[in-house]
Amino acid sequence: MSSLFALSCQTTQSTTKVVKNNSNVETTLSDSPIIETEFQENREIRVGLLLPLKGQNYRIGKSLLDAIHLALYKTQNKNIKIFVRDTSPIEGVTRAYYEFLDLNVDIILGPVFSDKVNELKSLSSDNKIQTITFSNNLNVAEDGIFISGLTMKDEIETIINYSEKNNLTKFAIIAPENIYGNAIIKLLESAILNKDITIFSKILFESENPDFYEVAKQVSDYENRSKNLLEKIESLKQDNSEKAKKEIKLLQQKDTYGELQFDSLYIAVENFQQLSLLSSTLPYYDVDPKKIQYFGTSLWNKEAIIKEPGLNNSIFVALDKDKSEVFYDLYQSLYNEVPHSIAIYGFDAIGIISSLNNQNLEINEKNIVNEIGFSGLTGTFQFKNDGIVERDLTLYRIKNEKIIKIKD
C-alpha cells in the first residue's frame, strides 16, 4: 500500500506562518489562509481545482480549499501548483475546463456535486484530463473520472461482511422513501447475493414528516403479533389446567406474542434528529437493541450519539478514527473551526499527487489505478478502472456512553 503521508503525523522543525497568498496556489478565495514553508524543487505538477466558492455551498468549498492548503504544507511538496476555479456560476465547470486545457493541467480535483461532475464528463470525451472528484455517487464514476468520497457501497459491504462472520443473517431495513433510501435497499440486496443472509422486511418512511411510531410498529409486525397474543390466550382458555392458567396470566402482561423474524436492523436516516426519535421509539414495539443488533451509517459518527440510550450496543461504520482525527486536530489547530466532513478527502487527494510525484511517477490513469492502492488519513483505499474507489472502513460499537473500535 503506497503511503500518502509518511511524515504527515510528525512535527516538522521548520518555522511556519499563516499568510494570505502562496505561489503554489492561484485562487479566487483571497482571504483563505495557508502555510508558507520551505520545499524541495522537482517537476511541476499542475492541478486544476473545482470547488463551490460562492452561494449556499461556500463553506464546503472553503473547507476543502483550506484542507488542500494544509496538505500542501504537510507534504512539503512545492512542485504542486494549484489553479482554483469556482463551480458556482452557470457553466462555471465548462469555462474552467477549457482554461485547464490551456494551462496544461496534469489532473483535476473536484467537482463536489454530481451535476457538476456530469457537466465535466460531457466536455472531456476528446481531451480527457484525469479527474479525482469529491463525489461519492457511484453513477458518475467512469474510466478516468474517479470518485473519492465515502460510498454507501463500501459502508454496506463492511457491515454485511461483519454480519456474515458473526452469524447475523436475518435483516430488517428502515430507510427514507426517496432516492437515498431506495439506493440503500438496492445496495443491501446486492451485497447479500450469494450469502446466507435474508432481508425479512423493508420499511420506508416519509422523509419530510416521518411517523416513527408507525415505522416501529411496521418493522416489528406489531399488529399481527398482537393478534397472535389474543389468539394464543383464547386457545389456552380451552385448557382448564393450572399450567394453562399460569401461562394466560403471564401472556396478559404482554402486548404481543412471538419472536421477531430478524436479528439485525439496518437504520438509514437523514439526520441526527430522526435517529434520536426512531431509536427512542423502537424498544416500545419490541425492537430492543439488547436483543436486536442495530447497524448504522457513517452519519452516526458524532460524539453526541453516546448520549442516546436507545442506541447502546449499536454498531456503525466510519473512517478509521485513529487516522481521521489526526486531520481534524491539524485543521482545527490552524483554522480554529471544525472542517466540513468532506474536507479530509481534499487533504488525501493532494497526498495521492504528492506520493506519485515523489516516486517520479506520471499522474496518469495507470498510476492512479495501481495494484496496491494508497494509504492516507482517510485510511487505505484503491481506485478501480471504472472510477469507483474501494475503502477499508472501520466498525464502532456504542457501549455505555463510549465509542469502541471493533477489532477484526
Query: Could you list the pLDDT tens digit for every one of the 408 residues in the chain?
Result: 666 654 333 322 333 333 334 546 664 433 333 333 334 456 899 999 999 999 999 999 999 999 999 999 999 898 999 999 999 998 999 999 999 999 999 999 999 999 999 999 998 666 689 999 999 999 999 999 999 999 999 999 999 999 999 999 999 999 999 999 999 999 999 999 999 999 999 999 999 999 999 999 999 999 999 999 999 999 998 988 989 889 889 989 888 899 999 999 999 999 999 999 999 999 999 999 999 999 999 999 999 999 999 999 999 999 999 999 999 999 999 999 999 999 999 999 999 999 999 999 999 999 999 999 999 999 999 999 999 999 999 999 999 999 999 986
Distance CA 49, CA 111 (A): 8
Strands of 394-399's sheet in order across: 198-205, 170-176, 264-267, 293-296, 315-318, 394-399, 402-405
Residue spans of beta strands (DSSP E) within 115-212: 131-133, 145-147, 170-176, 198-205
Measured in degrees and rounded to the nearest 5, phi and psi for residue 95 equal: -60, -45
Q: Are 49 and 353 in contact (CB under 8 A)?
A: no
Which CATH superfamily groups domain 2-149+320-391?
Response regulator (3.40.50.2300)
Helix, strand, or coil (residue 405): strand
Contact criterion met (CB below 8 Å) for 79 and 357: yes
Predicted model pTM? 0.87
Output the pLDDT for position 251. 87
Span(s) in the chain for CATH 3.40.50.2300: 2-149+320-391, 152-221+260-318
Q: And the C-alpha cell for 360?
A: 517520479
pLDDT at 2: 64
How many Cβ atoms from other residues are within 10 Å of residue 250's Cβ? 8
Q: Of 270, 274, 264, which is closest to residue 298 (Cα–Cα)?
A: 270
Neighbours of 245 (CB within 10 A): 12
**Region label for 221, one of left (φ > 0), alpha (ψ between -120 and 50) or beta (otherwise):** left
Q: Which three cell numbers stand for residue 283?
A: 424498544
Please say whether the structural domain 152-221+260-318 has been given the CATH code 3.40.190.10: no
